[in-house]
Structure 1
């Protein structure tokens, strides 16, 4: 099953959702701002993406600048920050089987769903 971590207010996320809809495949939409991801779910996504917690952080977000910008944080602390402030998570993220991609640009999504 394909899963998209989606923020409806983000244009890139909406483009990613359109790519999935046009693919004709079944997929699940996870509105992670409404129901924040659990720590283990964030760790699993990081593992599938093959990136560090810091690489998943949106550093231009207000929550980052006000609370974390000049601090040296461990991966666990960064994951905690993403759980507490889901806007910090890059988007959209699409998971397909044992692979995941950040849809920036959204066309990257086509690489894992075809």
Structure 2
């Protein structure tokens, strides 16, 4: 089993490009189709901490679910935001590549190369 994981959406070109870039560098990550298999709250909290971002910074604000889920409400706590991201995983930015102690968002795909060092 690989030390690398990718929150992947096969329908997304950036996600496919990031996966191909990892493979070109000899990495066969564990592929997590996060829309089908949503991350747990703890897993998402861990990734947010590794990325050193606020939950809202890794949300896809143009997804219909973002507004439908009420994620545009600025008064939501971090806990509430994370819970809604788990409930509506389509709003999570993609792709996210992570190991046990590092993570990177693959936008652009080359961002994940820092994890290979």
Task: Give TM class, smaller chain.
Answer: over 0.9
Alignment-derived partner of residue 54 in structure 2: 52
Provide the alpha-carbon RMSD of the alignment. 1.3
Shift of residue 66, structure 1, vs aligned partner:
2.4
Tell me whether 62-71 or 6-15 shows the greater mean CA deviation. 62-71
Alignment-derived partner of residue 91 in structure 1: 94
Counterparts of 1:107 and 1:57 in 2: how far apart (Å)?
20
Counterparts of 2:69 and 2:35 in 1: how far apart (Å)?
18
Alignment-derived partner of residue 110 in structure 2: 107
The gaps in structure 1 that reach 5 residues or longer are: none
Shift of residue 99, structure 1, vs aligned partner:
1.1
Give the secondary-structure state (helix, strand or coil) at the position aligned to 1:41.
Answer: helix
Shift of residue 44, structure 1, vs aligned partner:
0.6
Alignment-derived partner of residue 19 in structure 1: 21
TM-score (normalizing by structure 2)? 0.90
How many residues are paired up? 114
The gaps in structure 2 that reach 5 residues or longer are: none
Shift of residue 71, structure 1, vs aligned partner:
4.7
TM-score (normalizing by structure 1)? 0.93
Judge conservation of contact 1:96–1:113 (CA < 8 Å) in 2: no
Counterparts of 1:8 and 1:101 in 2: how far apart (Å)?
18
Give the secondary-structure state (helix, strand or coil) at the position aligned to 1:32.
Answer: coil
User: Aligned match of 2:85 in 82, 86, 94?
Assistant: 82
* 1:45-73 deviation digits (Å, cap 9, x = unpaired): 10111111111111111011223224521
Counterparts of 2:99 and 2:116 in 1: how far apart (Å)?
7
